[in-house]
Structure 1
Amino acid sequence: MDCQNPGKSRRRRGGRGTRDEGRDVRLSKSLSYALRHGACKMGFRMSSDGFIFVDELLSHQHFSSFSLEDVERVVATNDKQRFKLQNHPESGRVQIRANQGHSVQVEDLELRPVVSDDPDCPQEAVHGSYMMHWASIRSQGLSRMTRTHIHLAPGLPGEGRVISGMRGNCDLAVYIDVPKALSDGIKFYWSENGVLLTPGGADGLLSPRYFSRAQRLKPSQCELELQ
């Protein structure tokens, strides 16, 4: 410690902590891209259930400044539980995957189908978006766009078991009548981290007919007209 200027020492420690946090954010974003979208482009071999071996990941130039301990820390501290680490059942090598959010097709993400008579089937699920898109969403529905699923949450962030499923800065919440959609053959799945996923209909859209309500969240909550 610099006894003549203790504030100087504190600033140094604080700066280092900020740099460490920034480094973890960079790693988290890089993992998200590689595991959800860019594995093939980056030359990684992804298993049918979406896993990549961590040692192969770290040997890539994009991840060469990180260690296994860095990856383990980012996975453990990610507030939305975006990733899963496990040992390969045969080789024991550590592997990682994203729990959801893929634009690449993954055959077996261990998603749990939602059925209407399941106690875990929510009566409503919410999709977070932004008011700038409301006119399009209200007329056309929700689109999975380039991803394989539309992401929904069983409630707003901070409500009970809700961990992930929508961004914290969303200012629009669109509520879905899940039993109604299920009765029309729309499929829903639970991911490992509690995100409700649906591919929508054959056109990749979740029709406005399944909207039960919509709210503007910011600057203050208010109900929106569906028609």
Structure 2
Amino acid sequence: MISDKENKNISKFLSLVLRHQPELIGIELDENGWTDVDALIAKSGEHGVRYNIDALKHVVTTNNKQRFAFNDTFDRIRANQGHSVEVDLGYEAKIPPEVLYHGSAIKNADSILASGLEKRERHHVHLSADVATAANVGQRHGKPVIFEVTALQMHHDGMPFFLSNNGVWLTDAVPPKYLKKQ
């Protein structure tokens, strides 16, 4: 099929154009983040990133973070979460587990403990259900630090949580009182 390197390169490119900069290649995302697969493939090729539908399906199904999804007919595709462009992914509020986790770099720990977790340019703060995933995320930014988030208490205090299609828990912010450094 395609090499691991090609898979990774296509995945990174898809993250860029489906989550942050669709205008870079001239595609449009609808209000729910979907775009036409044929247009995506054609416009990607025009910008030097060439793949076909089979390679795209391979990237989507083998992505370890399940960042992308096809519709039922495989003619539309979107990123599951992590957008910095305005989209409504149609998530319904869910009751979170008692504790969720967030990974970051140790250099950010004091700031996070002081001001909490903020979504900044993203739509939501991303949380995971397990420490290993949070550690993996934190490693991308430097030496990792893991925070426990008392998610169920946040929910009881009126803060909504959503669960993305790929199992990432989402919320608008995590105030410091709900955080504990592991």
Structure 2 match to 1:83: 68
The 1-side partners of 2:14 and 2:93 are apart by 26
- Residue 61 of structure 2 aligns with an amino acid whose one-letter code is A
Matches within 5 A, 1:190-201: 190-200=163-173
Structure 2 match to 1:136: 111
TM-score normalised per structure 2 = 0.88
Deviations 1:8-56 (A, max 9, x none): xxxxxxxxx9x82111111000000111011134321212211111100
Q: 2:90 aligns with which of 105, 110, 123?
A: 110
In structure 2, the CA distance between the partners of 1:145 and 1:165, relative to structure 1 (3 Å rule), is farther
Structure 1 match to 2:131: 156
Shift, 1:165, TM fit: 9.6
Q: Which has the larger radius of gyration?
A: 1
The 2-side partners of 1:166 and 1:197 are apart by 17
In structure 2, the CA distance between the partners of 1:104 and 1:165, relative to structure 1 (3 Å rule), is farther
Q: CA RMSD in A?
A: 2.2
- Which structure 2 residue ranges, 5 or more long, are not aligned? none
The 2-side partners of 1:153 and 1:94 are apart by 30
The 2-side partners of 1:103 and 1:41 are apart by 14
Structure 1 match to 2:161: 188
Shift, 1:179, TM fit: 2.0
Structure 1 match to 2:178: 210
- Residue 139 of structure 2 aligns with an amino acid whose one-letter code is N
Q: List, as ranges, runs of 4+ consecutive aligned residues in structure 1 with deviation greater than 6 Å.
A: none
8 Å CA contact retained: 1:85, 1:95: yes
Structure 2 match to 1:42: 25
Q: 1:95 aligns with which of 59, 76, 81?
A: 76
Deviates more, 1:191-200 or 1:33-42: 33-42
Identical positions, percent: 32
- State how many pairs are aligned: 177
The 2-side partners of 1:66 and 1:129 are apart by 33
More helix by share: 2
The 2-side partners of 1:24 and 1:165 are apart by 23
Shift, 1:112, TM fit: 3.0
Query: Of the two structures, which has the highest relative contact order with CA contacts closer than 8 Å and spacing of 6 or more?
Result: 2
In structure 2, the CA distance between the partners of 1:42 and 1:165, relative to structure 1 (3 Å rule), is farther
Deviations 1:155-208 (A, max 9, x none): 1236xxxxx8962626111111112212332211000111100012xxxxx211
